Structure 1
Amino acid sequence: MLLQERSYSQESILLGIRRSKGEAADILRRLSVSASVTDILEKFQCTFGAIDTAESILRKFYACQQEENETVSKYSTRIEDIFSQAVEPDASDRRQDFLLKNVFYQGLHKGLRHAASFKFESIHDYDLFKVEVRKIKPDYKIPEESNAHCSAMNQNDSKG
């Protein structure tokens, strides 16, 4: 991102990268002194980058359920994070809205989903629907049942 913004010189970015600690510092020590920012980022991507396929991430996305004590805001943020890992940034917003809204709705607690069903049918915009569900939430008591949930893998936690 810093390279694209051109806010900092290549030298400044290299200096920041070279101050890395832990595994990243170990990798840097094995690279030549003349390694460019691009070379270093490629090496980091090979070592730490996500290895999940778009399909496996989408499977996690479709399996998401709101956790027992999870707020609507945290639940929506979690599914948006997982979804953003699987789609291209320039993909059709309308299609993304449709998928997000449907998975969000299907993963809500049963009673909350029932309470939001009219809004689901009448509001087509994902963000507007999310706001309406948040408005319903204070009147809805979460049941004590346990729900299955998904967990977004942190890209750094991906190990082959």
Structure 2
Amino acid sequence: MVSWLLRGLSMSAVHIVARVLLGMAIVHSPLHGSLWKTAAVAAVVLIALIWGGVDGIIDGRAHDDPDDYADLTVMWLKAGVLAGVVSGIVSWALSNYVFGGMGQNSFFVELFAGGSFTALLVFVPALAGVGVGRFLAHRQSRKDARTAQDDTREHQTV
């Protein structure tokens, strides 16, 4: 399966589950809506951040030269747009036909505004994770190189 498709569909599933749980929580406890909304957004952002970080670590370990890195920016952009479109359509259908607690937005508002917001919720944290992951992978390879260099110096002086 294409990597951006897997990420996009998975992140749309995460967002849809977060929206459904958010709707249920707000219906059950409407006075704590701000807390539930923050928790739902934080869950989506955290999953995207961690997944992007894992991608960055894997890519950083695979390529020593930063010029050889894979194009994870476009991959995560495609995944974010796909997650936004899919979760917008599914959330609209769920809110209008299955579960009224999710809100009653029109199709175009849910698709364009909600989809754009979801795309950013996936894309921006994933790219931050990629950058941190590549930094950590490079830092570890530099430590390993220094340790190997120090070992050769010890053997040469003995």
Same fold (TM > 0.5): no
Whose relative contact order is higher, 1 or 2, with alpha carbons under 8 Å and at least 6 apart? 2
TM value normalised by structure 1: 0.28
TM value normalised by structure 2: 0.28
